[in-house]
Every structure is written in structure tokens, then in C-alpha cells.
Amino acid sequence: MNYDLLMHMDMESQDTLDMALGNIENYMAALPGEPFRVALVANSGAVKLFTKANFGASFKVAGLRAKGVEFKLCANSLKKFAIPVEELMEGCEVIPAGIVEVVRLQREGYAYVKP
């Protein structure tokens, strides 16, 4: 059985980010011994939440990254909001287009969840 999870964020909301990160933590805790992958894809205004200035979230993101969670940020959105790569939280991957990544991961069997 495939337990891969795709969490998709497109709104700039700290509450939504906190909920998404909590959902990911709960998801991982509920699958002891099961193989799975988790990716969070952020596009549109949500990319603004993944800068080093978001101190509280950066610790949670770092902890989840250490457990294998991938954080993928849309290059188109970063360009739109003039966010330089140097300002992003460590370990976030910049992808060409968030929407294309969402479709790609769904085609690979990831379950789509939007908090």
C-alpha cells in the first residue's frame, strides 16, 4: 500500500502552515514501521512563509526535513514576490513550477491534502 503524502499550500497564512506541519507530524507518527514519503509543495503566496525570517516555523521545518520530509517551493512564485533563494529556510528545494510538481507527485501516487 502506498502511504506517500503531498501537502499543498498556496495561501500566505501562518495558521495554515502550522496546521500543515502539525498534520505532517501526526501523519508520520500514525505510520510506525510503514514506508512512506512526504512532500510539501508551496506556491503562490505560501512561499513567503518559508524564509529564514519565519523563526518559529524554521525549527519545525528543519526537524521534519531531518525525518525525510521534502519542502518544495515554486520558482515562479519566488520570482513574483522577489524572494531571493538566499532568504529561504535551509533545505528547501526550489522547483520550476509548483502546479506542475503537484500534478507530477499525484501521478506518482502521492495522496493530495490541502490544509
Q: pLDDT tens across 35-85, in order?
A: 999 999 999 999 999 999 999 899 999 999 999 999 999 999 999 999 999
pTM: 0.96
Instruction: Give the Cα separation of 89 and 100 in Å (integer).
Output: 22
Q: What residue ranges do the domains of the chain occupy?
A: 5-113
Side chain identity, residue 83: I
Instruction: Give the Cα separation of 75 and 63 in Å (integer).
Output: 23
Residues of the chain above pLDDT 70, percent: 100
User: What does CATH list as the number for 5-113?
Assistant: 3.40.1260.10
Q: Using the predicted structure, report yes or no on whether residue 1 has a pLDDT greater than 90.
A: no
pLDDT at 56: 87
